Amino acid sequence: MEKFFYFRDATDEATDLSAAVSATVPVNRITGITVGGTTTINIWFKSLKNEMQNERAALTVTLGKLKEVMATLVQAMNGGPHSDGFVVIADTVTTTDGASSIQGDDQAVSAKFIHGDITNIALLTY
Amino acid sequence: MKVKKWLYFATQADEANLDGADDAACLPADNLVSISPTANNRVTMYFEAVGNNDPLGAYDNVVLETVVGDAFEVANELVRFINGHPHDDGFVTIADDVVIQDPGDAPLSAVYAHPSITGVNAINITEITTTGNSSYENFPQPMAVGNILPQPANAATLAVNSHYRFGTGTALAYRLPSAAAGRAGDFISVLYTARINNGAAHSYTTTTDLNYYLGSTIRVTPGSSARTGFLDVSIANDNVLTITGLDDGDGGIGTRLMFRNMTGEANGWAVECVVEGEDDNNAATADTNFS
């Protein structure tokens, strides 16, 4: 089963309008996980449009937890063989959108992170 | 399901200094290209590039410090780790130099996958974080061929990814669009099919950029007598390229410019301009330059 990582960096679902806001990426397109700062991890993946430069999701993590979060990401790639393969790594949406949507309009929901030491995300697709 | 192995490296003694891709990285074993010694005490692992999707781009690499004479054993052990432990979670620490925890400064033990690995010498990962992107359709194009656009009116902004043929000798001033508004790989080419009139200036000014990509060139081909070759190389704040027509001198038929957006960022427009001579081709170049 192919795993897919999901990233979203909007707080209001109403602004989820492009690949710059959310993306679902097959893990076999991930080229590396690097440190971007003492509290930043970059997940790099092949360009969504096959351009010359790859793209990334930058996770904000707790100081001192870089390696632990990296290990969790790898576990998520390899674990849960009986899941549906869709893995939410970081989703910062806290307000839903769409009166006829499954979750309703302007409902408060919790942000989701695969690890408790991930606190935010910036999706850097172009 | 096959477990995908990911190899972890860290090259700082103090966890507080893990602040960049050259300090720590977790790379997929599937992207490992080769393992080879690069000194009698170093083994280098090459990986497909993390940040670069260019098929001809350089590979990233991690250089391990090893016991002298143990390159073979280290390579063997690395492969064993990549292929072994099929029931683990896939996260494999190959070399972790961290011995001071942060925060807290508690002591830690460095971790190495084999006793002959003694440290990480370097993690060489090229991160490309600009917003510009090249696309394959924008690879270098032949000069002024294909879909030729008509010459625009004076003071117009030239369109990217366009070829022009200019046949007007009177003074003209064109503009280039913002480099940041476009993409790396964008181009504009101009080929002169008529000479520029004596004393008439044709200028190309970047719209919002402060200068052309540094090192852009104007090359005047040599003729006879006083017309020697001339080369002007752009420097900071050069955002205007001017070709001034001159009898027996600059601005002859065949003069051509190729603009190329190198970065997709501000000041990204590079230009290669070749100025042909007119008529007798024996007058020294004048007033053709960057400014």
Sequence spans of domains, chain A: 4-124
Residues B236-281 pLDDT 10s:
999 999 999 999 999 999 999 999 999 888 999 999 999 999 999 9
For residues B173 and B164, give the distance between their C-alpha atoms in angstroms, rounded to a whole number: 15
Touching A: B residues 78-117, CB under 8 Å: 89-91, 96, 98, 101-104
Q: Which pLDDT score, from 0 to 100, does residue B145 have?
A: 58
For residues B51 and B58, give the distance between their C-alpha atoms in angstroms, rounded to a whole number: 10
Contact B25 A35 (CB under 8 A): yes
Q: Same domain, yes or no, for B186 and B227?
A: yes
Which is nearest to B21 in space by CA: A56, A72, A122? A56
Q: Same domain, yes or no, for B32 and B109?
A: yes
Q: Same domain, yes or no, for B153 and B263?
A: yes
Residues B182-204 pLDDT 10s:
878 888 999 999 999 999 999 99
Q: Same domain, yes or no, for B257 and B143?
A: yes
Across residues B30-34, what is the average pLDDT? 90
What is the domain count for chain B? Answer: 2
> Can you tell me whether residue A28 is helix, strand or coil?
helix
Counting every residue written for chain A, the total comes to 126
Distance from CA of A10 to the nearest CA of B (A): 19
For residues B125 and B282, give the distance between their C-alpha atoms in angstroms, rounded to a whole number: 52
Q: Same domain, yes or no, for B143 and B281?
A: yes
Q: Which pLDDT score, from 0 to 100, does residue A125 have?
A: 79
For residues B281 and B291, give the distance between their C-alpha atoms in angstroms, rounded to a whole number: 24
Does the pLDDT at position B290 exceed 70?
A: yes
Q: Which pLDDT score, from 0 to 100, does residue B132 have?
A: 44
The CB density around residue A85, as the number of other CB atoms within 10 Å, is 12
The answer to the question of residue B129 being in a domain is no
The answer to the question of residue B197 being in a domain is yes
Contact A75 B47 (CB under 8 A): no
**B256 to A45, B125, B186: CA distances (angstroms):** 40, 39, 17
Percent of chain A with pLDDT over 70: 98
Per-residue pLDDT band at B141 (split at 50, 70, 90): low
Q: Which pLDDT score, from 0 to 100, does residue B136 have?
A: 41
Q: Which pLDDT score, from 0 to 100, does residue B142 have?
A: 56
The answer to the question of residue B17 being in a domain is yes
For residues A71 and A117, give the distance between their C-alpha atoms in angstroms, rounded to a whole number: 12
Q: Which pLDDT score, from 0 to 100, does residue B144 have?
A: 53
Residues of A with CB under 8 A from a CB of B: 1, 27-28, 30-38, 42, 44, 46-47, 49-54, 56, 63-64, 66-67, 70-71, 73-75, 77-79, 81, 124, 126
Q: Over chain B, what is the mean pLDDT?
A: 89
Q: Same domain, yes or no, for B187 and B65?
A: no
For residues B284 and B223, give the distance between their C-alpha atoms in angstroms, rounded to a whole number: 9
Q: Which pLDDT score, from 0 to 100, does residue B126 have?
A: 83
Per-residue pLDDT band at B284 (split at 50, 70, 90): very high
Per-residue pLDDT band at B147 (split at 50, 70, 90): low
Domain membership of residue B184 as a residue range: 136-290
Contact B136 A38 (CB under 8 A): no
For residues A62 and A72, give the distance between their C-alpha atoms in angstroms, rounded to a whole number: 14
Q: Same domain, yes or no, for B100 and B148?
A: no
Residues A65-80 pLDDT 10s:
999 999 999 999 988 7
Task: Retrieve residue A74's tokens.
Answer: 């790898």
Distance of alpha carbon B177 from the chain centroid: 20
Touching A: B residues 139-168, CB under 8 Å: none
Q: Which residues from B are below 8 Å from A30, CB to CB?
A: 28
Q: Same domain, yes or no, for B142 and B280?
A: yes
Residues B47-87 pLDDT 10s:
999 988 877 677 899 999 999 988 888 988 998 888 887 67
Q: Which pLDDT score, from 0 to 100, does residue B36 have?
A: 87
What DSSP assignment string belongs to A48-115?
Answer: TT--SB-EEEEEEE-TT-HHHHHHHHHHHHHS-TTS-SEEEEEE---B---TTSSS-SS-B---EESS
The CB density around residue B208, as the number of other CB atoms within 10 Å, is 14
For residues B45 and B42, give the distance between their C-alpha atoms in angstroms, rounded to a whole number: 10
The answer to the question of residue B131 being in a domain is no
Does the pLDDT at position B226 exceed 80?
A: yes
> Can you tell me whether residue B231 is helix, strand or coil?
strand
Q: Which pLDDT score, from 0 to 100, does residue B81 have?
A: 87
The parts of chain A modelled with pLDDT lower than 50 are none
Q: Which pLDDT score, from 0 to 100, does residue A124 have?
A: 87
Per-residue pLDDT band at B133 (split at 50, 70, 90): very low
* Domain boundary pick from B124, B152, B174: B124
Q: Same domain, yes or no, for B84 and B178?
A: no
